[in-house]
């Protein structure tokens, strides 16, 4: 690169251009149809003179980028090396309520390659205080509504949905081809059933479960605990949902994101619970 040239990033791709070029010339060259120009994170007018290491994003409002470009753009904020690993990962989520819907969204945004969600329920108005659905999805099977939402967020994730109950009889078949299973049920007996069936059925996969996230106690009481090498439990292990202690978006979300982060750490070869 000569003294008269500078390096910039356009839509996350490295580009060498002449020094002193105004943004408008770059737009004419590279993306004339763009109607929103962002320089280093801020919308900018087209007379900006480009500087070395500027990060430029050009957006055509209302038009979705092509899948390949979208992938590069979405993964640009990941730590190097993370994307290749998460793209290969296969994760199952049992339950698509407050936990499962939030976990699925976090994992889809992370770029997990394959997500299978299983749930027997439909979206009800009372779910909307914490679950990641929309008013116009009331009455739809949660797995179908969630699959649609995930596709809108990241079409590069393959989502497989199973509309039905997870039982001791079908767990093996449902999750034989995944690496990590996330328990995201509501009822305590169903959580225990899933965990017990999982460990009886599989000898190598990981289980990330949750227990205790009702009410509005401090968020800091929710943590990720290691039960054994294949079993991690997120929550405060105490606060059950019941009369006088409802389930609310913040703490359910905290527990869900502990679970999603545990999944991510397992994929990246890190212990989810090393911080005590």
The contact set with other proteins (CB under 8 A) reads 95, 97-100, 184-189, 191-193, 195-196, 199-200, 209-214, 227-228, 231, 233, 235, 237-242, 247, 252
Residue 225 CB neighbour total at 10 angstroms: 17
- The nearer residue to other proteins, 26 or 181, going by C-beta atoms, is 181
Alpha helix positions (H), 76-223: 82-88, 98-110, 142-153, 171-175, 188-201
Minimum distance from residue 195 beta carbon to other proteins (Å) = 5
Minimum distance from residue 196 beta carbon to other proteins (Å) = 6
- The nearer residue to other proteins, 28 or 126, going by C-beta atoms, is 126
Minimum distance from residue 227 beta carbon to other proteins (Å) = 6
In terms of Cβ atoms closer than 10 Å to its own Cβ (0-12, 13-18, 19+), residue 128 is: middle
- The nearer residue to other proteins, 27 or 131, going by C-beta atoms, is 131
Residue 36 CB neighbour total at 10 angstroms: 11
Contact 163, 143 (CB under 8 A): yes
Minimum distance from residue 118 beta carbon to other proteins (Å) = 14
Minimum distance from residue 192 beta carbon to other proteins (Å) = 5
- The nearer residue to other proteins, 68 or 228, going by C-beta atoms, is 228
- The nearer residue to other proteins, 136 or 189, going by C-beta atoms, is 189
């Amino acid at each position: 690169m000569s003294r008269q040239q500078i390096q910039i990033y356009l839509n996350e791709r490295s580009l060498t251009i002449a020094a002193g070029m105004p943004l408008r010339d770059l737009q004419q060259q590279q993306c004339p149809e763009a109607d929103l120009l962002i320089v280093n994170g801020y919308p900018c007018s087209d007379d900006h003179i480009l500087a070395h290491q500027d990060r430029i994003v050009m957006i055509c409002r209302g038009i979705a980028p092509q899948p390949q470009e979208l992938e590069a753009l979405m993964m640009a904020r990941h730590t190097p090396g993370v994307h290749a690993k998460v793209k290969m990962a296969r994760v199952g989520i049992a339950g698509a309520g407050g936990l499962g819907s939030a976990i699925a969204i976090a994992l889809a945004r992370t770029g997990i390659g394959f997500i299978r969600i299983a749930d027997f329920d439909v979206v009800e108005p009372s779910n909307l205080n914490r679950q990641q659905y929309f008013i116009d999805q009331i009455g739809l099977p949660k797995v179908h509504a969630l699959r649609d939402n995930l596709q809108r967020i990241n079409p590069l994730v393959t989502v497989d949905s199973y509309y039905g109950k997870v039982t001791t009889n079908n767990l093996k078949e449902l999750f034989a081809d995944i690496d990590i299973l996330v328990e995201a049920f509501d009822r305590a007996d169903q959580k225990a059933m899933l965990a017990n069936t999982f460990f009886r059925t599989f000898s190598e996969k990981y289980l990330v479960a949750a227990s205790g996230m009702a009410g509005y106690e401090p968020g800091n009481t929710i943590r990720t605990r290691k039960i054994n090498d294949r079993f991690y439990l997120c929550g405060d292990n105490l606060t059950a949902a019941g009369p006088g202690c409802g389930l609310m978006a913040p703490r359910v979300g905290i527990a869900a994101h502990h679970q999603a982060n545990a999944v991510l750490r397992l994929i990246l070869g890190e212990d989810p619970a090393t911080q005590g």
